């Protein structure tokens, strides 16, 4: 009531100015909160990575120095030590690359085809199998891993690239099938029909029409599978020993030596390990973002 | 080019039959238009001809060869889709040449064919563009180009102009007609627009609820509609269809309509007196006397000028009666009007079956 009386007593232009100021202040406040939130998110995500990357160029004594030194003389000593003391590191990167690229390619090919089937055909069996695909993904990996051990041994696949390629592919096929289905759903059926009338077989349709049109979905799947395969530890630990050993296993060994942890070498290894997946994500991020939001907006 | 025979063609989805044993003959090089309202089965028939839908039963042959088990590619058909269905990741040139590329045609030959097609369709300057950079009309031209380039034996058009604006539609209609004249390829065209059907077709097949309501030349469908459905569907504005009574007046037959009496056309001579549906096209009615014509008294209700002509919605008793005639500013809403017409332009239909009375008479005789 008092407010009403006060407003009534004020000239109309003053009331309007005050309301405008209040609206502006509200907007600035919301914008500030949003910026702070984003800043915290960036700090939360980037600080550990920056700490590792920067520390890999510091001398051993400077890494955990307090207060932390922002300005220091960079050194490649840890990288040289990694090369000389951990000679298995770089060959395992080749293993990781072979396994990750193969698993990524295989998953993309399978999911392009299975996504197409789920998108274009319908039956009770397909409906049920879609539920199964999702349900199986909910199991913790260890539940599947242990029973697989004797099977893998019996097949003679232990400590081969093939076993990890197959496992990583099997692990991601379910989610990636659904991602590809969502993308292929967006492609009008008349495009399939136009290709059929043009004389395309189903494989030609998939390869020459559907795949390029669902490229964003394929990129999203590729990133998921590659990053997972590149960093995966549990399956690699259980199913490989020497020949197919991957980089995360060596990094774990660096972390846990009888002489204690050489943090500098560890950080150098982790920094190198970060490069391929970071590059892949940066190069394909516009596809990734579109991939993650597919189906939310009719495009 | 090919001659198409569809015999007792049926299509069912589960227990629901949507095409009920139709017979259509498309002569070699003819332009046949399947026309009808939504859900009449016209697109389904076209897709069965293309090989995109299985045939439930019946026969389909191209030049006497049974094509029921052949793929679209093996049938050598080309189709223009309603939504263009261009490949968005390919340039116009690649879109047009895609079929040739799949067929293994060499690059030089393919490029020459694409260029020639683009020249005919006047889209040479667009060959490097992607479909998203084209207007609706240009996209439709590319879609037609894609169909043309393979020199198919049959062209299929599935409502190709329905996404275009009126002006562009008229332009593209003329272009399709010109192309057909030039190439002479057997064409089957689906539309719900009777104007497109009338202007393009050598033969129209008018469909209703999965049955052929009438097949014939545009002139036949317009002049002698076999049913009230065809009478209403073909022609714009639609034919006036008014309940009337056929009465015997001495030696002659008269038609009693809204308390007025007119002379019946000779087709109904053999018909026993009783209720009928009288049909009269709006453009066959005039406000000026015609030699040997008849008249009906109507009251002008609504005026809709459309340039040199005017549409008059009038009242004939309790029935609405549309007239289309020349406009010299002579009409006033609410005024009485003498509607003149020739007896030969009258159409009579059976109110029970909806069949044209002379057609019905022929069928009974048969």
Q: What is the CATH number of the domain that holds B78?
A: 3.40.50.300
Asked if residues B213 and B225 have their Cβ atoms less than 8 Å apart, the reply is: no
The verdict on a CB contact (< 8 Å) between A193 and B79 is yes
pLDDT of B363: 54
How far apart CA B52 and CA B55 sit, in angstroms, is: 10
Q: Find the CB nearest B52 among A193, A212, A215.
A: A193
The verdict on a CB contact (< 8 Å) between A197 and B82 is no
Structurally, chain B folds into a number of domains equal to: 2
The verdict on a CB contact (< 8 Å) between B73 and A199 is yes
The answer to which of A59-68, A224-233, B53-62, B189-198 has the lowest mean pLDDT is A59-68
Domain coordinates in residue numbering, chain A: 2-55, 79-298
pLDDT in tens, B175-208: 899 989 988 999 999 999 999 999 999 999 999 9
What is chain B's mean pLDDT, rounded?
A: 91
Nearest CA-CA distance, residue A216 and chain B, Å:
12
Q: Find the CB nearest A196 among B52, B83, B103.
A: B52
Residue B308 has pLDDT above 60, yes or no: yes
Give the mean pLDDT of B249-256. 88
Q: Is B342 exposed, middle or buried (0-12, 13-18, 19+ CB in 10 A)?
A: middle
Between positions 164 and 193 of A, the ones with CB within 8 A of B are: 188, 190-191, 193
Nearest CA-CA distance, residue B31 and chain A, Å:
20
| Cβ–Cβ contact A196 with B under 8 A | yes
pLDDT of A298: 31
Boundary of a domain, candidates B216, B231, B246 = B231
Q: Find the CB nearest B89 among A196, A204, A213.
A: A213
Do B196 and B53 belong together in one domain?
Answer: yes
Do B88 and B119 belong together in one domain?
Answer: yes
**CA Rg value for chain A:** 27
Asked if residues B163 and B85 have their Cβ atoms less than 8 Å apart, the reply is: no
| Cβ–Cβ contact A204 with B under 8 A | yes
CATH code of the domain covering residue B320: 2.40.50.140
The verdict on a CB contact (< 8 Å) between B83 and A204 is no
Question: Regarding predicted confidence, which is higher, A260 or B127?
Answer: B127
Do B170 and B191 belong together in one domain?
Answer: yes
The verdict on a CB contact (< 8 Å) between B102 and A204 is yes
pLDDT in tens, B312-349: 999 999 999 999 999 888 888 999 999 999 999 999 99
Give the mean pLDDT of A9-22. 82
pLDDT in tens, A157-186: 999 999 999 999 999 999 999 999 999 999
Do B171 and B319 belong together in one domain?
Answer: no
The CATH class that applies to domain A79-298 reads mainly alpha
Instruction: Match 């292929």 to its residue by tokens.
Output: A184
Do B11 and B135 belong together in one domain?
Answer: yes
CB atoms within 10 A of CB A63: 21
Residue B113, token pair as written in the block: 């064919």
pLDDT of A65: 82
Of A194, A151, A192, the C-alpha closest to A170 is A151
The verdict on a CB contact (< 8 Å) between A188 and B83 is yes
Residue A99 has pLDDT above 70, yes or no: yes
Q: Which of A183, A199, A204, A205 would best serve as a mutation to test chain B binding (most B beta carbons within 10 A)? A: A199
ipTM of the complex: 0.83
Element (H, E) at B65: strand B65-66
> How wide is the angle at C-alpha A91 spanned by C-alphas A85 and A95, nearest 5°?
140
pLDDT of B232: 93
Do B96 and B178 belong together in one domain?
Answer: yes
Q: Find the CB nearest B85 among A194, A204, A212.
A: A194
Whether B310 maps to a domain, the answer reads: yes
Q: Which domain holds residue B322?
A: 232-349
Torsion sign, CA atoms A192, A194, A196, A201: negative
> How wide is the angle at C-alpha B239 spanned by C-alphas B237 and B243, nearest 5°?
140
Whether B359 maps to a domain, the answer reads: no
The verdict on a CB contact (< 8 Å) between B85 and A199 is no
CB atoms within 10 A of CB A5: 9
Give all strands of the β-sheet with B294-306 in edge-to-edge order: B319-326, B309-316, B294-306, B336-341
What single-letter DSSP state applies at residue B37? S
Asked if residues A253 and A92 have their Cβ atoms less than 8 Å apart, the reply is: no
Residue A295 has pLDDT above 80, yes or no: no
pLDDT of A291: 53
Q: Is B318 exposed, middle or buried (0-12, 13-18, 19+ CB in 10 A)?
A: exposed
pLDDT of B362: 53
pLDDT of A290: 59
| DSSP state string for A102-121 | HHHHHHHHHHHHHHHHHHH-
pLDDT of A299: 32
Do B213 and B338 belong together in one domain?
Answer: no
Query: What chain A residue is nearest to B88 in terms of C-alpha separation?
Result: A213
The verdict on a CB contact (< 8 Å) between A190 and B82 is yes
Give the mean pLDDT of B146-163. 90
Question: Regarding predicted confidence, which is higher, B50 or B150?
Answer: B50
Whether B360 maps to a domain, the answer reads: no
Residue A205 has pLDDT above 60, yes or no: yes
Q: Find the CB nearest B81 among A194, A204, A212.
A: A194
DSSP 3-state assignment of B119? helix
Nearest CA-CA distance, residue A73 and chain B, Å:
51
pTM, to two decimals: 0.80
The verdict on a CB contact (< 8 Å) between B87 and A191 is yes
Query: What chain B residue is nearest to A198 in terms of C-alpha separation?
Result: B99
């Amino acid at each position: 009531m008092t407010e009403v009386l006060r407003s009534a007593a004020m000239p109309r232009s003053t009331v309007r100015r005050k309301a405008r100021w209040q609206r502006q202040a509200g907007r600035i406040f919301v914008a500030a909160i949003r910026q702070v939130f984003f800043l915290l998110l960036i700090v939360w995500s980037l600080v550990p990575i920056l700490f590792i990357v920067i520390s890999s160029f510091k001398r051993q004594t400077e890494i955990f120095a307090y207060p932390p030194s922002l300005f220091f003389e960079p050194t490649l000593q840890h990288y040289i030590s990694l090369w000389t003391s951990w000679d298995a590191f770089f060959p395992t990167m080749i293993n990781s690359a072979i396994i990750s690229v193969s698993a990524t390619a295989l998953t993309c090919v399978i999911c392009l085809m299975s996504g197409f089937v789920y998108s274009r055909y319908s039956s009770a069996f397909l409906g049920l199998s879609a539920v199964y695909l999702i349900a199986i993904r909910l199991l913790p990996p260890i539940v599947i891993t242990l029973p697989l051990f004797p099977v893998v041994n019996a097949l003679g696949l232990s400590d081969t690239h093939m076993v990890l390629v197959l496992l990583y592919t099997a692990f991601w096929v379910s989610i990636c099938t659904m991602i590809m289905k969502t993308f292929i759903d967006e492609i009008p059926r008349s495009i399939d029909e136009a290709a059929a009338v043009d004389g395309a077989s189903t494989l030609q349709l998939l390869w020459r029409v559907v795949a390029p049109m669902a490229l964003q979905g394929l990129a999203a799947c590729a990133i998921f599978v590659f990053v997972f395969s590149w960093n995966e530890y549990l399956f690699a630990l259980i199913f490989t020993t020497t020949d197919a050993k991957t980089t995360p296993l060596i990094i774990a060994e660096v972390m846990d030596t009888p002489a204690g942890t050489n943090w500098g070498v560890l950080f150098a290894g982790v920094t190198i390990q970060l490069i391929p997946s970071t590059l892949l994500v940066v190069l394909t991020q516009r596809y990734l973002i579109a991939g993650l939001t597919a189906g939310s907006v009719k495009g | 080019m090919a001659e198409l025979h569809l015999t007792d063609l049926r299509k069912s989805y589960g227990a629901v039959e949507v095409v009920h044993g139709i017979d259509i003959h498309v002569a070699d090089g003819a332009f046949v238009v399947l026309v009808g309202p939504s859900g009449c089965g016209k697109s389904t028939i076209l897709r069965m001809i293309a090989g995109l839908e299985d045939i439930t039963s019946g026969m389909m042959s191209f030049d006497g060869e049974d094509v029921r088990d052949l793929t679209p590619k093996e049938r050598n058909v080309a189709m223009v889709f309603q939504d263009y269905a261009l490949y968005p990741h390919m340039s116009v040139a690649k879109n047009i040449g895609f079929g040739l590329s799949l067929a293994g045609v060499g690059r030089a030959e393919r490029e020459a064919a694409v260029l020639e097609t683009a020249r005919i369709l006047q889209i040479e300057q667009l060959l490097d563009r992607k479909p998203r950079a084209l207007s609706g009309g240009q996209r439709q031209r590319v879609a037609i180009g894609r169909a043309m380039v393979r020199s198919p034996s049959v062209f299929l058009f599935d409502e190709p102009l329905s996404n275009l604006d009126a002006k562009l539609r008229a332009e593209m209609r003329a272009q399709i007609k010109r192309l057909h004249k030039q190439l002479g390829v057997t064409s089957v065209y689906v539309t719900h627009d009777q104007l497109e059907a009338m202007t393009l077709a050598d033969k129209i097949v008018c469909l209703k609820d999965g049955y052929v309501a009438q097949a014939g030349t545009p002139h036949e469908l317009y002049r002698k509609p076999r049913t009230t459905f065809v009478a209403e569907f073909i022609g714009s504005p639609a034919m006036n269809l008014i309940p009337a009574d056929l009465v015997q007046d001495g030696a002659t037959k008269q038609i009693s309509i809204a308390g007025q009496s007119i002379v019946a056309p000779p087709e109904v001579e053999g018909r026993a007196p009783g209720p009928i549906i009288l049909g009269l096209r709006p453009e066959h009615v005039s406000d000026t006397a015609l030699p040997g014509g008849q008249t009906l008294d109507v009251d002008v209700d609504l005026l809709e000028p459309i340039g040199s002509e005017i549409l008059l919605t009038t009242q004939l008793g309790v029935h609405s009666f549309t007239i289309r005639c020349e406009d010299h500013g002579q009409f006033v809403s609410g005024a009485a009007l003498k509607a003149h017409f020739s007896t030969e332009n009258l159409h009579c239909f059976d109110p029970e079956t909806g069949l044209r009375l002379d057609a019905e008479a022929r069928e009974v005789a048969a």
